[in-house]
Amino acid sequence: MKKELSELFAFVKDTDRLLVITGAGCSTDSGIGDYRDDNGSWKKPPPVQYQDFLRSETVRKRYWLRIQLGYPSFRDALPNQAHLSLARLEGSGIIQGLITQNVDRLHQEAGQKKVIDLHGRLDQTICLGCNKITPRNQIQDWLETENSFVNELAFELRPDGDASAEHYDLGSFLVPKCRDCNEIIKPNVVFFGGSVPKQTVENCLDWVKRSDSVLIVGTSLMAYSAFRLVRLASERGLPIASLNRGTTRANRLVTTNIVENCSEMLSALEAILKA
């Protein structure tokens, strides 16, 4: 048995209440790009900041133009072996809960039941005036109708339904607004520079407190919202394993560090546990 696989197997085989925390590396095999390289540095310019989105109509125009281009590929992505293996490990009783930083809902599509979407979900929008939730597909249909010229633009995909489209004329672009109150809408996700809802934070902290070990999958933990959960687990003396292609912010906290592909290792782990 490969050394890394043996370490992962040893970590999970005796746990009763395993909590999994996932990030972008869990979805890269589904064609959804990640934000950071193996050293935890940005691969591309950082995404739009929440305060900039609120302040500037121009920023909102650029954001919605880019996501109009990138969202269809994001929406059509399918769960990969990492998602499927994690869902089956939950079904067999090994995983008691999963907290994901991803906004793609691929864990749920794979069959995962006990999931907290730490950073929200991109398949919905929320109105900042009346809090109305609208399916993102409805907004996409509106965008493609009202801004049909955008559909023909060349672009490069970025993570989470974003696209590179910095230099196009924004003058005629129409920004979607709430159909009920005409206020600003945004995807129902936590933007960079935004805050995770208090209840979500409390639910995540509670899950950590009820766990006996934590497995980090496909994340550098550069976002404090996830790092704080691992730090709490460390403070409580819980064993912590990391399965990731590169470094993580929590390297000094983990007890088992496995630098491998998420899909391959989880699939192999599942096979051993079934044997």
**Sign of the Cα pseudo-torsion (187, 189, 191, 197, in order):** positive
| Residue 144: half-sphere exposure toward Cβ, Cα within 13 Å | 13
Q: Are 163 and 157 in contact (CB under 8 A)?
A: yes
- Side chain identity at 45, as an amino acid letter? P
Phi-psi region of 21 (alpha: psi -120 to 50; beta: other; left: phi over 0): beta
Query: Do 139 and 185 touch, CB atoms closer than 8 A?
Result: yes
Give the three-state DSSP class for 91: helix
d(CA 194, CA 104): 18
> Which residues on neighbouring strands pair with residue 217, listed in sequence order?
22, 243
Choose the catalytic residue: 83, 107, 119, 167.
119
Find, among 265, 208, 215, the residue nearest to 239 by Cα. 215
167 as an active site residue: the answer is no
Element spanning 146, H or E: helix 136-146
Is 145 exposed, middle or buried, given 0-12, 13-18 or 19+ CB atoms closer than 10 A?
A: exposed
3-class secondary-structure state, position 121: strand
Q: Which residues are catalytic?
A: 119
